[in-house]
Chain A
Amino acid sequence: MPVIEVTNLHKRYPGKVAVHDVSFSVERGEIFGILGPNGAGKTTTVESVIGLRKPDGGTISVLGLDPIRDRDRLRTRVGVQLQQSELPERMRVREALELYSSFYPDPVDWRELVDQLGIADKVGTAFRKLSGGQKQRLSIALALIGNPEVAVLDELTTGLDPQARRDTWEVIQRIRDRGVTVLLVTHFMEEAEYLCDRLSLIDAGRVVATDSPTGLIARVDSGARLRFRVAGPFDPAVLTALPCVTGVRRTGPQVQVTGTGDLLAQVSAALGAAGITAADLRTEHTTLDDAFLALTGHQLAG
């Protein structure tokens, strides 16, 4: 039985439909991602999953429980980190951790958590004196402090610098290794690609596709892709004449070439023969961004 099962979720706010029709299911021990642009309905979806919002349609089951009806039983088994939820300004990190530990029947040792999250030296600091990244890591600690079976994390690494982001990803992987199921909401493609076993792409309140990151990429993989810069005049015909090239697109000095087979060798040979100097010639891989673009017709980021 799936740990989380969402079927035909529908949620309206006055004057606006936030979620049209969202279905997905998350298996035990999985890191499942919900990836989509801002305003796609991701947050409303997770808020419904954890019982903060009552759906207008559809059904949700988490650990076999109904998030609204079995609210209290679910809360001890699901850890949640939400966006835009702060702590009292003058509350110190240690006080928050001790207080939140006391809410749960079987909490983890918060000292280990703050060690793993790299805020062990901040336990005496007031919340308002923490940096954005430290607040974020404290939020994650509070979500995990109850030793949950399911962790729901909304925009996990927003506000973190790249190093802190990597560290946080490792923490999430360690949590999963302990058997915790993770539902991860993000608009950050790289995060989804790195962490998620499977993910749903959500756009305008609907699920566009659900698959593993490689599976999603494979759906749209159109072969090889090259990118380089040219300084002077450049006639695309030099490349379109090649049998392995399927498309050439120029934006200012940037040229993008798509094609199949041994694209790199043939293109560089053709450029050399035509006397064109190509700078920063590199192969590009298809990403989730490309998958999203292909499936929805618009960019994920932006």
Chain B
Amino acid sequence: MNRLARITSVELRLFLREPMTIFFGIALPPLLLVIFGSIPSFAAPSPDFGGERFIDVYAPALIATSLAMLALSSLPTILASYREKGVLRRLATTPVRPGFLLTAQVVSHLLMALVSVALLLVVGATAFDLPLPANALGFAIAVVLATTSVFAIGLLIAALARTGRLASGIGSLLFFPVAFLAGLWTPGPVMPEFLRGIASFSPLGAGSQAIKDAWSGAWPQPLHLLVMLGFTALAGLAAARWFRWE
């Protein structure tokens, strides 16, 4: 455990030296909230959003976007390049198993995801009267499942891509549809009904809808939870099946 903690703290430090990841994965979602929250029409209740404000319906999509950046872009790129460049191979010659590094990376990214979600909640609550999630337990369940589903997909990319560049390419390619269905461009009620139906079957479409439900005080729909569980299980098993150390 001591070794794992040490590796994780080193990997976290390395993570903090990646300005692009910090910006897109952690800073951008709260920043978008600040930008949209500062536009008067977006910060006022509107019939277009069922009487809610734009930032109320947009916040879940921003959480989903942050998860997607970390899980689909950053994580697989780092893991695939660690394999490609022999970082895992070098570790395999020491008393530490390369699985430790994999775990340390996942833990680092999960911590960053947590920071990002917390930042968004704090900024929203203090600056824009965004209420904290009314159904806290439902919210936590929705965020955790959204996280596991998209991280499992990220690990699957890392398992399949031979190089860091390829992983980065696949991750970026997947990011757009995933973030689109999560409502990054057409949040909440703005998303056409048929599209929302399709989005329910995507990991972060289900995720952001479940997060929104819990935020408003309801429980997430079973369908959304099942979809996220399904992605977690399928992608996770496939990643475990196909991951190679070199």
Contact = CB atoms under 8 A, between A and B. Distances in A.
Interface residues of B, number: 21
B5 to A, nearest CB: 10
Given A102-B3, A103-B3, A75 B93 contact: yes
Given A88-B82, A90-B17, A91-B10, A100 B87 contact: no
Interface stretch (A78-86, A155-163, A279-287): A78-86
B244 to A, nearest CB: 13
A99 B10 contact: yes
A148 B48 CA distance: 70
Interface residues of A, number: 24
Interface string B71-100: 000000000001001110110111110000
A262 interface: no
A75 B6 CA distance: 19
A192 interface: no
A84 B82 CA distance: 11
Interface string A87-125: 110110001000110111000000000000000000000
A142 interface: yes
B93 A91 contact: no
B246 to A, nearest CB: 9
Contact of B89 (A76, A82, A100, A142): A82
B95 A84 contact: no
Given A86-B86, A86-B87, A88-B82, A99 B7 contact: yes
A82 B93 contact: yes
B12 to A, nearest CB: 12
Ranked nearest first, the 7 interchain pairs of A and B with the lowest CB-CB distance are A85-B86, A85-B90, A80-B93, A86-B85, A75-B95, A90-B17, A85-B89
Given A75-B95, A82-B86, A103-B95, 14 more contacts: A52-B92, A75-B93, A82-B93, A85-B86, A85-B87, A87-B87, A88-B82, A90-B17, A91-B14, A102-B2, A102-B3, A104-B94, A104-B95, A142-B90
Interface of B: 2-3, 6-7, 10-11, 13-14, 17-18, 82, 85-87, 89-90, 92-96
21 contacts: A52-B92, A75-B93, A75-B95, A76-B95, A84-B86, A84-B89, A85-B85, A85-B89, A86-B87, A87-B90, A88-B82, A99-B6, A99-B10, A103-B95, A104-B94, A104-B95, A139-B90, A142-B90, A143-B93, A146-B94, A146-B95
